[in-house]
Structure 1
Amino acid sequence: MSQPRFDVLGLGNAIVDVIARCDEAFLASHDLAKGSMHLVSQDEAETLYGQMGPGMESSGGSAANTIAGIASLGGSAAFAGKVADDALGGVFAHDIRALGVHFDTAPLDSGAATGRCLVLVTPDGERTMNTFLGAAQELAPADIDTSVVADASMLYLEGYLWDPENAKQAFVAAAKAAQEAGRDVVLTLSDAFCVERYRDEFLDLIKQGTVDLVFANEHEVRSLYQTGDLATAMDHLGGQMREAVITRGAQGASIYKKGSRVDVPAAPVDQVVDLTGAGDLYAAGYLFARARGMSAPDCGKLGALCAAEVISHVGARPQADLKDLARQNGFAI
């Protein structure tokens, strides 16, 4: 097998985030479940945007955030996702390429606008997302460059891709190409409500061996196995997967690998400002370390360090140079 050009190829919804603070009453008045992700129409997005407080715009999308983190660590990364040929699409493309990420998905030249996610952050740092997928849902199998898939050590897929049919088929096509090239397929479950919608299909991906590594948080893994008992749910996933990572917020994370489990503590944070992107950046640190052959505990420690950086400020992309941060914390990268 040839040496891959990229550590990770991410496949996900290309989204521009609009992040604003709000109180619990605002969520209640709009019938929004705190911590969830809702799909909304363009009209609904515009109405909610008009009622939100001042917002900060930044390129986002779950898998794209992970890829941005890997690039900040000094890794080689690529991303595939669909934007429109419009102003926000140009912002997204510029931002990800400026990080040194390979991004050559052709933009949509007519129809839907570039997707955006309205992120409401409550005082406890929890984020509630309202997503208009727009052009992102037009990602299709024809957008998958199998030569790039084969040139990446790992293919990283976000569960949110399972919502639009076109993107789901792109997900399947990319996973097949990665398997044929002997590359690892990684899935992040994305959101507990996403798991509720597609539980059986996600379980089939796991049982059929389509994915080699799964990332989930405690809410997602409970939803996957329909149990309130976290330990039971974790052991189910760990027993079915060759490798699984379950993040548990301030309680750290549990890594299951080849039948054994290791628990890795969370990295200290002076103040939790915004939880947006915590899981995405954890995955960035973990996958970067994994690509370099680090041990499971070290993969978890670097993941925790990256997550701690992103929750210490508003926004889902790192503000510090993660490579420097990793070196300051003893990682020889």
Structure 2
Amino acid sequence: MSILVTGSLAYDHIMDFHGYYKDHILPEKVHILNVSFLVQGLRKQRGGTATNIAYSLNLLQEKTAIMGTVGHDFADYRAWLEEQGIDTHAIKVIPDEFTASCFIMTDLSGNQITGFYPGAMSHAHQLKLSDFQLSDVKLAIVAPNDPLAMVEHIRECRKTGVPYIFDPGQQALNLSAEQLMEGFNGAKTVIGNDYELGMIENKTGYSPEKLLEVAEMVVITKGEQGSTIITQQGTVEIPTAPAQQVVDPTGAGDAYRAGIIKGLLYGYSPETMGRIAALSATYCVENYGTQNHKYTASEFCTRYAEAFGENIEALFPALEGQATNLVIN
């Protein structure tokens, strides 16, 4: 494999609220907040940051291994991942635990309220890269997971010389300023949405621009407003790729990250890797759940050309079945 994905492995319980949260919350009464939402849809889906990212990387025809901890209820999920061709040998079962579960409720504006039960994920810090045959890893992503595990995985990547992407995500709230800075220092890329990076700036004093002092690239996702990629060479604004329909935003950020990883592996420009990431995310939002979107190599390339006016077949040798050399360093 060439990519190691660490992060949560979870079941998602996705609910649709056909209204707007803002209409049900009184700002002057938030100190006694007590609200209930009648939802119109409920689906149980495969989810988790690690598995979501790995799934979209698999669609982009990149070999991926997942490292994480799961509960005794994970057997069917593992079998499905293996059917997709995703390496699961570094996924460890914690017999007395349930797999982590996420409960996500989305309103008509795409705003989300999430509850997360960590379950077996709380044991992820027990895993070490050295426990598994992962010697051919070219790039790793440390995605939201048990906070202690994230810190340990960063240290191991640094110790073994594996380039890594640091994606603190929702765990930015639970990681200390010192732990965040440990992740930023030497990262190939730091990625987060604008809200998360705002929290990080408040906690560490490091703005996205200042993070370039310790990391090579910073990626800011902004939902419907697209994304921003900042490097030493400048700032690039990336538009969203047009969607045929917007069904569910859940998991779009993870699909986006798969595109960024693809771009880093093959040395694409920030603009091109951002556009690849944007299209990967768009495929996700057109379906319910985080691992229900599908496309072929030719479909992806055709739609990319339609959206951005650029032919990327030459930039996707792996998608076209041609030999290619990884250029990441």
Normalised to the residue count of structure 2, the TM-score between the two structures is 0.80
Q: 2:61 & 2:271 partners in 1: Cα distance?
A: 20
Match of 2:240 among 266, 270, 285: 266
Give how far 1:24 is off.
Answer: 5.0
Q: Which residue of 2 aligns with 1:133?
A: 118
Instruction: State the SS of the aligned residue for 1:226.
Output: helix
Q: Which residue of 1 aligns with 2:322?
A: none
Point out where structure 2 has 5 or more consecutive residues left out of the alignment.
27-35, 305-310, 317-329
Assess, with a 3 A threshold, how the Cα gap between structure 1 residues 53 and 266 changes in structure 2: closer, same or farther.
Answer: closer
Q: How does 1:199-218 map to 2 (within 5 A)?
A: 199-206=176-183, 208-209=185-186, 211-218=187-194
Contact 1:150 1:177 in 2 (8 A): no
Q: 1:26 & 1:221 partners in 2: Cα distance?
A: 23
Q: Which residue of 1 aligns with 2:48?
A: 61
Which segment is superposed worse, 58-67 or 249-258? 249-258
Q: 2:235 & 2:296 partners in 1: Cα distance?
A: 27
Match of 2:95 among 109, 112, 134: 109
Runs of 4+ in 1 over 6 A off after TM superposition: 25-31
Greater relative contact order, per chain length (Cα 8 Å cut-off, separation 6+): 1
Assess, with a 3 A threshold, how the Cα gap between structure 1 residues 235 and 208 changes in structure 2: closer, same or farther.
Answer: closer
Assess, with a 3 A threshold, how the Cα gap between structure 1 residues 149 and 171 changes in structure 2: closer, same or farther.
Answer: farther
Point out where structure 1 has 5 or more consecutive residues left out of the alignment.
1-5, 32-47, 163-167
Q: How does 1:1-333 map to 2 (within 5 A)?
A: 6-24=1-19, 54-86=41-73, 89-104=74-89, 105-110=91-96, 112-142=97-127, 144-145=129-130, 147-162=132-147, 168=148, 170-191=149-170, 194-206=171-183, 208-209=185-186, 211-226=187-202, 233-321=207-295, 323-328=297-302, 329=304, 330-332=311-313, 333=316
Q: 1:54 & 1:273 partners in 2: Cα distance?
A: 12
Give how far 1:214 is off.
Answer: 0.8
Contact 1:22 1:121 in 2 (8 A): yes
Deviations 1:100-140 (A, max 9, x none): 11112231122x21221111121223332211111121223
Q: 1:202 & 1:24 partners in 2: Cα distance?
A: 38
Which segment is superposed worse, 217-226 or 171-180? 171-180
Which structure shows the bigger proportion of residues in helix conformation? 1
Identity across matched positions, percent: 20
Assess, with a 3 A threshold, how the Cα gap between structure 1 residues 234 and 300 changes in structure 2: closer, same or farther.
Answer: same
Instruction: State the SS of the aligned residue for 1:216.
Output: strand
Give how far 1:23 is off.
Answer: 4.3
Assess, with a 3 A threshold, how the Cα gap between structure 1 residues 208 and 64 changes in structure 2: closer, same or farther.
Answer: same
Deviations 1:28-86 (A, max 9, x none): 9899xxxxxxxxxxxxxxxx9xx865422221111220111001111110101111222
Q: 1:69 & 1:28 partners in 2: Cα distance?
A: 35
Assess, with a 3 A threshold, how the Cα gap between structure 1 residues 136 and 320 changes in structure 2: closer, same or farther.
Answer: same
- Aligned-residue Cα RMSD (Å) equals 2.8
Contact 1:22 1:122 in 2 (8 A): yes
Q: 1:269 & 1:185 partners in 2: Cα distance?
A: 30
Deviations 1:82-106 (A, max 9, x none): 11222xx113212222221111223
Normalised to the residue count of structure 1, the TM-score between the two structures is 0.79
Assess, with a 3 A threshold, how the Cα gap between structure 1 residues 253 and 26 changes in structure 2: closer, same or farther.
Answer: closer
Assess, with a 3 A threshold, how the Cα gap between structure 1 residues 267 and 158 changes in structure 2: closer, same or farther.
Answer: same
Assess, with a 3 A threshold, how the Cα gap between structure 1 residues 236 and 22 changes in structure 2: closer, same or farther.
Answer: same
Assess, with a 3 A threshold, how the Cα gap between structure 1 residues 173 and 200 changes in structure 2: closer, same or farther.
Answer: closer
Contact 2:18 2:40 in 1 (8 A): no
Give how far 1:304 is off.
Answer: 0.4
Q: 1:19 & 1:207 partners in 2: Cα distance?
A: 32
Contact 1:10 1:155 in 2 (8 A): yes
Name the amino acid aligned to 1:68. Y
Which segment is superposed worse, 234-243 or 14-23? 234-243
